[in-house]
Amino acid sequence: MNDIKDYVILNNDVKMPLLGFGTYNADDSNKLNNAIKKGIEIGYRHIDTASFYGNEEVIGSAIKESEISRKEIFLVDKVWNSEHGYEKTLKSFQESIKKLKTDYLDLYLIHWPQSLNKETWKALEKLYKEGYIRAIGVSNFTINHLQQLMENAEIIPAVNQIEFHPRLVQNDLMEFCEKYNIQMEAWSPLMRGLVFQIPFLKKLSRKYDKTISQIVLRWDLQMGVTTIPKSTTLSRIKENMDIFNFKISEEDMKNIEKLNDGFRMGMNPDEVFKCPEIIQR
């Protein structure tokens, strides 16, 4: 983990950059367009969006306007809850790639677990087999959701993108994903700014001469979790990528993990869609 070009190899041998560029809640289209182009210019190659975000067209335009080949960008999108079901998912995918001005995605995720998970996953498997998607995965899936999905799946998810930060570590889920070689990825890694209020992280910031953002993002990577911080401010975009020239000690890693108290910024996936527990074989 020495460079922004570093990557993880997914369970289907596709390479995914460790550090991504998040775009959730980026409402100013011009600002987002400029931020993405600047991010690409300084080295970002992993861009994350979702149909729910309403910014696919802006992202597609920014990538087109950049001087980087589409093949060098790892582009991630997600199918929204109202788009679940086999046919609806296929239709949603076509709408998304049209807006993104591309003919394929590098990673396509089920955004949240729903009652039609299995049908939606079959659609993703079809698109993957036909070469429209390089890797398929899920987002906000608990162990129960993953087990239920994998009961009938032909393809194991390559990625599970979840809320992950020092106050929500989810060790059991990490162990499950590691067992099945499912890469975990962190959304809201900086807790929408709340990490800046944690005294211990302020202490580490002084110790390592790094910002709290850099401490937390580096912690993600050393935990084996890829991460997608969001910012449209150039100084923050640069700051977030300056995490490859230091290492957090093992003791400090464990102490950051002790901040875990189950606090969530977003919805609890089990409250979005509760499925019965499946006894592991």
Kindly state the DSSP code that residue 194 receives in the 8-state scheme.
G
CA distance 59 to 78: 14
Tokens encoding 90: 């296929």
> Which residue of the set 53, 86, 108, 208 is catalytic?
53
Q: Is 111 among the annotated ligand-binding positions?
A: yes
CA atoms of 109 and 119, how far apart (whole Å): 14
User: How many residues can be counted in the chain?
Assistant: 281
Tokens at residue 107, please?
A: 């990673």
Which run of H or of E encompasses 129? Answer: helix 117-129
Does the active-site annotation cover 53? yes
Q: Give how far the C-alpha of residue 211 lies from the chain's centroid of Cα atoms, to the nearest Å.
A: 22
Give dist(CA 88, CA 79) in Å, integer: 10
User: Do 149 and 182 contact (CB within 8 A), yes or no?
Assistant: no
Element (DSSP H or E) covering residue 201: helix 199-208
Binding residues for substrate: 111
Binding residues: 111
Q: Point out the residues that are catalytic.
A: 53
